[in-house]
Chain A
Amino acid sequence: MNLLLVDDEADLVSALAERLSLRGIEADFATDGDAAADKVRARAYDVAVLDMKMPGLSGLDLKQKLQRLRPGLRFIFMTGHGSEEDFRAGSSEAAGYLVKPVRIEDLIAAVNQALAAGPG
């Protein structure tokens, strides 16, 4: 299982990636849209976990971009905002929608659910 974590908070994604690897889940991370796109081009990930709000490219826009690069990639959104608007967009566009701060167990459960649901 390969995960890509994208969030502008480097301290968050790096720690999360390490925690996931400690649990045997291989996770890469990127802190902006361009780096994420590069990584997606280079490697086939099963699930991408995206922050909804990032400077420049928003989570939704990034999702479109990554989907074009690798159709079949599954997405989970993470957000610190939790607004109604965000929730509607995030939950309809992605396999999972999580509000920060996220418990790692919830994230793993969401990833597993996304994988079980099949390609997005």
Chain B
Amino acid sequence: MGLFDRLRPAFWNGAVKGGPYRSLFNYRRLWRLSVALLAAVSVTPLCIMTVIDYGVTKRAVTQENLHRTAITTSNTRRTLSYFLDERLAALNFAAREESYAALARPERLAGLLADLKAAFGGFMDLGVIDDAGRQAAYVGPYDLLGIDYSSQEWFKRTVESGYCISDVFLGFRNVPHLVVSVRANRPEGGFFVLRAAVDTQRINDILAGLDLSGSGDAFLVNHAGILQTMSRSHGSVLERLALPVPARAERTEVYGTGDGENSLIIGYAYLEGTPLVLMVVKRQAELMQPWYALRLDLVGFLGGSVLAILVVILGVATFMVEKIFVADQTRVTTLHQMEHTNRMASIGRLAAGVAHEINNPLAVINEQAGLLKDLAVLAKAPPPPERLSGIVDTILASVERAGAITKRLLSFARHQDVHIEPVNVGKAAGEVLGFLAKEAEYRRIAVAVEAPDDLPAIESDRGKIQQILLNLVNNAFQAMDDGGRLVLRVFAPDPDCVAISVADNGCGIPAADVKRIFEPFFSTKKKKGGTGLGLSITYGLVQELGGDLAVESELGKGSTFTVTLPLVKGAACEPSARG
């Protein structure tokens, strides 16, 4: 026995017990449907929430990364701008404080450089250039005295705008450096330029000191895209940056670029008054590490939850369907018993009438036989043979009459099990009315059967049809006063069906009760001993035969019950067909 066989609930293979109500429901389908529905309503919202949360969290992490990059870039820009501005201001102050003559003296210039280094730091050398562009004085590690700077870009810009912060270049010393210079007017006319080379190491230190996660990179480029400082993974000083130089912007900007493994987050800022652009480049993949961990948690949680929900749903659905199945099985058994009880009760009710009916021929036999004996014993002359034969004929006719009654009763009681055979509904109606003919006669109830001969026989259960008709006719008799009129009409509402209507002109049913008359235990005859099961069982029987039971009633005028049955059991039939 496999695991599934052991776990398989009792309802899986349908009803164990046979009987007419066997296929009341498809429990397997019911189970599947409830599992699917429960799973859909519980798992779908969870999945949707997870997807939404997934998106929101991812967006939040991305935003957070962009934001942090922006802050880093912005702060660094401020630091670098301040660093350069401070050097520029110091130089400016010195150029205005000292005279050209004083500065042109190497000792004074050396003293000034020493002061600047001590007070501000970051200065490498110091030079004084006259208005012709010739270096008039120089202190520093290189031999640059007397060099003509008039053609240099930074000199032209200094002359033009009064100061200059250059980008990094090799210059005459052939070493990458950055120049800060100011122009100062001489009282006697003309001007001179005070120039200092800024120690780019200080800038490198500032950039290197940034707290950048993983392989994050921060560096300066000039507007032409030439690297101004060392970068970790984007090239060395004065090399061309592989990335495009971002468009000029007043403020710090951040953007993402590329996708997949190589996607980058780039923060940049143009340093005001310089040809420099600060760039902070981070790898998206590294920044998203916390997100990946979170994502794993999320998916794991979803999977776990869905699994737990499915287990619970499977358990609950199985339990509920099992309960329904057991309840239905009990109901089926009860219905079956109820039907049987109803049948027995019908037979019991009939028995009194039948006894009377049989008594009449018996009484005839009794008198005829007694007469026979009397003629033999008491008569003066022996009776002629014709007389005797006439008496015997009467006796035989009465025996036949009694026999017909007992046969009818037996045929009714015999049909216990379902037995599908061709049934002529009109004939069945005649059989049922046979039981009640005497009662009708005594109560002066006119009974008419309208059954055209050309109606087809239906494939159905004769016993059940008899029971249905007997219940309906019995009900009609109870509803009518003596002298009533009962009409049974057999007709074909459509080619696939045969219907029989039982119409009485009795007391009728109040409109409020019409809807309830097929409910079990609903009775209008409770005081007279009605169980309230007759019509309910009749309804059940009609349903069982695949038919439909309809009622039309008017209080005080009578009721018409119409049973519509399919020609073949199980075939569809218009349920709205009325008599």
Binds A, one of B268-276, B367-375, B411-419: B367-375
Whether A101 contacts B368 in the complex (CB less than 8 A), given A19-B374, A55-B441, comes out as no
Check B557 for interface membership: any CB of A closer than 8 A. no
Distance A18 CA – B369 CA, assembled complex (angstroms): 12
Chain B positions within 8 Å of A104 at CB level: 370
Could you tell me which residues of chain B, from 350 to 378, have a CB within 8 Å of some CB in chain A? 352, 355-357, 359-360, 362-368, 370-371, 374-375, 378
**A88 within 8 Å of B by Cβ?**
no
Query: Given the complex, which residues of A lie within 8 Å of B252, measured CB to CB?
Result: none
Distance A88 CA – B442 CA, assembled complex (angstroms): 19
B248 to chain A: closest CB distance in Å? 117
Q: Which of A74-120 contact B (CB under 8 A)?
A: 78-83, 99-102, 104
A100 proximity list for chain B (CB < 8 A): 359-360, 362-363, 366
Q: Which residues of B contact A9 (CB under 8 A)?
A: 360, 363-364
Report the nearest A residue to B438, measured CB to CB: A53
A contact residues around B81 at 8 Å (CB): none
* Chain B residues within 8 Å of A16, by CB: 367
Q: How does the 8 Å CB contact mask read for B372-395 relative to A, with 1 for contact and 0 for none?
A: 001100110000000000010010
Checking A12, A54, A58 against B363 with a beta-carbon cut-off of 8 angstroms, the contacting residue is A12
Interface size classification for chain A: 20 to 34
Which residues of the other chain, A, contact B370 by a CB distance below 8 angstroms? Answer: 15, 19, 104
Q: Chain A 52-65, CB within 8 Å of chain B: the 1/0 string?
A: 01111010000000
**Which residues on the A side are within 8 Å of B173 (C-beta)?**
none
> A22 near B: Cβ within 8 Å?
yes
Given A12-B363, A12-B367, A15-B368, A22 contacting B444 (CB threshold 8 A): no
| Residues B367 and A15 in contact, CB atoms below 8 Å apart | yes
A23 at the B interface (CB under 8 A): yes
Contact B359 A80 (CB under 8 A): yes
| B368 and A11 form a contact (CB under 8 A) | yes
In whole angstroms, how far apart are the Cα atoms of A27 and B167 in the complex? Answer: 155
Is B181 in the interface zone, CB < 8 Å from A? no
- Quick one: which of B360, B368, B441 has the most chain A CB within 10 A? B360
**A11 adjacent to B364 (CB under 8 Å):** yes
Complex interface bits, B431-448 against A, C-beta within 8 A gives 1, otherwise 0: 000000010011010000
Give the size range of B's interface with the partner.
Answer: 20 to 34
- Closest residue on chain B to residue A54 by CB atoms: B442
A12 engages B364 (CB within 8 Å): yes
Residue B76 at the A interface, CB < 8 A? no
Pair A53/B367 contact, Cβ less than 8 Å:
no
Q: Decide if A53 touches B356 in the complex (CB within 8 Å).
A: yes
| Closest chain B CB from A18 CB (angstroms) | 6
Q: How far is the CA of A80 from the CA of B357 in the complex (A)?
A: 7
Of B356, B360, B378, the residue contacting A22 (CB under 8 A) is B378
Closest Cβ neighbor of B378 among chain A residues: A22
Q: Check if A22 sits within 8 Å of B364, measured CB to CB.
A: no
B398 within 8 A of A: yes
Nearest CB of chain A from residue B366's CB, rounded to whole Å: 4
B366 pairs with A102, CB closer than 8 A: yes
Chain A residues near B357: list those with CB within 8 A.
80
Docked complex Cα distance between A22 and B365 (Å)? 18
- B residues within 8 A CB of A101? 359, 362-363, 365-367
A-chain residues with CB within 8 Å of residue B398 when the two chains form the complex: 11
- Which chain B positions have C-beta within 8 A of A82? 355-356, 359
Contacts known (A11-B394, A19-B370, A80-B356); A56 close to B444, Cβ less than 8 A: yes
Measured between alpha carbons, how far is A55 from B439 in the docked complex, in Å?
9
| Residue pair B368, A81 in contact (C-beta under 8 Å) | no
* A11→B367 contact, CB < 8 A: yes
Cα distance, A78 to B379, chains bound together (Å): 26
What's the least CB distance linking B399 to chain A, in Å? 12
- Is A83 touching B352 in the complex (CB atoms < 8 A)? yes
| Also in contact, A22 and B367, with CB within 8 A (given A100-B359, A101-B362) | no
A53 to B440, CA, bound (A): 12
| Most B C-beta atoms less than 10 A away, residue of A58, A83, A100 | A100
One of B355, B359, B371, B438 near A19 (C-beta < 8 A): B371
Residue ID in chain B nearest A18 by CB atoms: B371
How many angstroms between the C-alpha atoms of A63 and B449 in the bound complex?
Answer: 34
Q: Whole-angstrom distance from the CB of A108 to the nearest CB of chain B?
A: 12
B379 touching A22 by the CB < 8 A rule?
yes
Given A11-B364, A19-B374, A104-B370, verify A81-B352 contact (CB < 8 Å). Answer: yes
Docked Cα-Cα span, A104 to B370, in Å, equals 8
* Cβ–Cβ < 8 Å partners of A18 in chain B: 371, 374
Chain B's nearest CB lies how many Å from the CB of A26? Answer: 15
Query: Quick check: A22 and B374 within 8 Å, CB to CB?
Result: yes
- Expressed in whole angstroms, the Cα–Cα distance for A102 and B442 within the complex equals 21
In the complex the two chains form, what is the Cα distance from A92 to B87 in whole Å? Answer: 142
A1-23 contacts to B (CB < 8 Å): 9, 11-12, 15-16, 18-19, 22-23
List CB contacts (< 8 Å) of A34-72 with chain B. Answer: 53-56, 58
**Known pairs A55-B442, A82-B359, A100-B359 / 12 extra A-B pairs, C-beta < 8 Å:** A9-B364, A15-B367, A18-B374, A19-B374, A22-B374, A22-B375, A53-B438, A53-B442, A80-B360, A81-B356, A82-B356, A101-B365
In the A-B complex, list the 5 residue pairs whose CB atoms are closest, starting with the nearest. A80-B359, A101-B366, A100-B363, A15-B367, A81-B356
Can you give 12 contacting A-B residue pairs, CB < 8 Å? A9-B360, A11-B364, A12-B367, A15-B371, A18-B371, A23-B374, A53-B356, A55-B442, A78-B363, A80-B359, A101-B365, A102-B363
